[in-house]
Structure 1
Amino acid sequence: MSIPATKFSPGKWGEMKVFRYIDSYKLDNHNLAPITGEDEMVSMNQRIRDCIKKSTGDTVTVTLYLQSDYLYEEYGY
């Protein structure tokens, strides 16, 4: 899954940690994957598709929080 407007984000693999929801399924502490010259990506493997009962090509709602933004919103720090 490509994340729009992240093409020029600073950092290397593992430096941008995110919390995400895919539909209502919460996934903690994942890396955005940098792709040279393109927007960054997050994976949605078969295990995740099984948990949310979706298959390849189905529409999902994705919400991403940078780890620091999520911690502030949820816990105030």
Structure 2
Amino acid sequence: MRLSEFRRAVADEFGDAYGRVLTGDLVLGALDARTADAALESGIPARDVWLALCAETDVPAERRHGAGLPAARH
């Protein structure tokens, strides 16, 4: 997962404004008590950060995988 895909997944799941609040303020125990933004800045892969954010906020499993990917082109 690229950073742009992570940002798209966050916006799709939580909305732009609330997503920014979550990634900047919510401390994620699974990421050594870092926020999502701090974890990304420290080099933790975006996919790992996305999954930790989903777990912490109870995003259903069916909405975790493939999130943030652009729609398929036909």
TM-score (norm 2): 0.28
Counting strand residues as a fraction of each chain, which structure ranks higher? 1
Greater radius of gyration (CA) = 1
